[in-house]
Amino acid sequence: MDRIVTYSPAYTIVPTYECFNRCTYCNFRVEPGQDTWMTLEQAESILRQVRQQGVIEILMLSGEVHPQHPRRAAWFQRIYHLCALALELGCLPHTNAGILTRAEMAQLRLVNVSMGLMLEQMTPALLQTVHRHAPSKVPALRQQQLEWAGELGIPFTTGLLLGIGETAVDRIETLQTIAAIHQRWGHIQEVILQPHSPGSQQCWQGELFDGEQLIETVRLARQILPATITLQIPPNLMTAEQILACLAAGARDLGGIGPRDEVNPDYPHPTDAVLNQILLQHDWHLRPRLPVYPQYDTWLTPELQAAVTQWRHQLLSIPSPPDRAGVDS
């Protein structure tokens, strides 16, 4: 059976929504100082519930505290301790907290089975438009983080944000950049192709990324990127027909499926059971996966390897995607 599509049974923990970036398409952030950070006690209550529902991945998704802000160290320690707590309670953390220092990445590597950062687009032209007030969206900074992840041996997820003002040539350049970095380090396990989808909180008036261009971008990515990198598409941001067309073009993963897409809160995730029904009608088979791909298991610390091995044994006993009820976020 080779027509397999994977997904990660996931839940998103948000340490804080505050962020010093002001991307004009953002539907996630609040102003610095106007959000109460999640406590370990609050997280523990949530994690105990979702663990009972079969959640594997805890996506640690945070707004960014400025690197020079007095609260930066406390922000980083909160993320670290939340990841450690998720591990302790039996889940597998995957952190995407924006731009980090190399030292911060090295520390988080001890409590994460994988990490991620969207490259978005390599063109600096967006620094004059949607990223004008987003200092950590400088392409060179994000490219450096992908390089550091490779140097540190961190299984990594990155991706493109499509339809934010880039050109078709820009998309090719961004894909080529990812391919070149992976050729050096071999650490990029997934590339997400995420179409811009207008939300109720953003100030930019950009339109929904064209479906035909999305399918063509998937096809292009499959040609440019090494075959070992899995292409991921977000099923809540496209129609069933577009999902199937993207699979035909080379996508093979649907990302983390949970009760809420924190980045695109106006677009609820379909359940894994609903997705499975759609896919089965076209001879695709949906299967759960871990947030680290098997070829990277040996990159992890012994403690993380033990947790991953336990989950791999559990996955063998799961016959089909369960229709889990979500936990309110």
- DSSP per residue over 205-226, as a string? -PPPPPHHHHHHHHHHHHHHS-
Residue indicated by tokens 């609820």: 268
Q: Burial level of 300, CB count in 10 A (0-12/13-18/19+)? A: buried
Residue 23 annotated as part of some ligand binding site:
yes
Distances (CA, A) of 43 to 91, 157, 256: 12, 24, 19
**Inter-residue contact 121 to 138 (CB < 8 Å):** no
Beta partners for residue 9, in sequence order: 257
Residue 26 annotated as part of some ligand binding site:
yes
**Inter-residue contact 119 to 139 (CB < 8 Å):** yes
Residues 186 and 252: their CA atoms lie apart, in Å, by: 19
CA diameter of the chain: 54
Residues 62 and 197: their CA atoms lie apart, in Å, by: 20
188 phi, psi to nearest 5 deg: -90, 115
Type of residue found at 32? P
Residue 91 annotated as part of some ligand binding site:
no
Outline where the chain has alpha helix (H).
Answer: 40-52, 72-88, 102-108, 139-152, 168-185, 211-224, 240-249, 272-280, 302-315
Residue indicated by tokens 């990277």: 296
Residues 26 and 112: their CA atoms lie apart, in Å, by: 26
The annotation places the binding site at 19, 23, 26
- Known binding residues for [4Fe-4S] cluster are 19, 23, 26
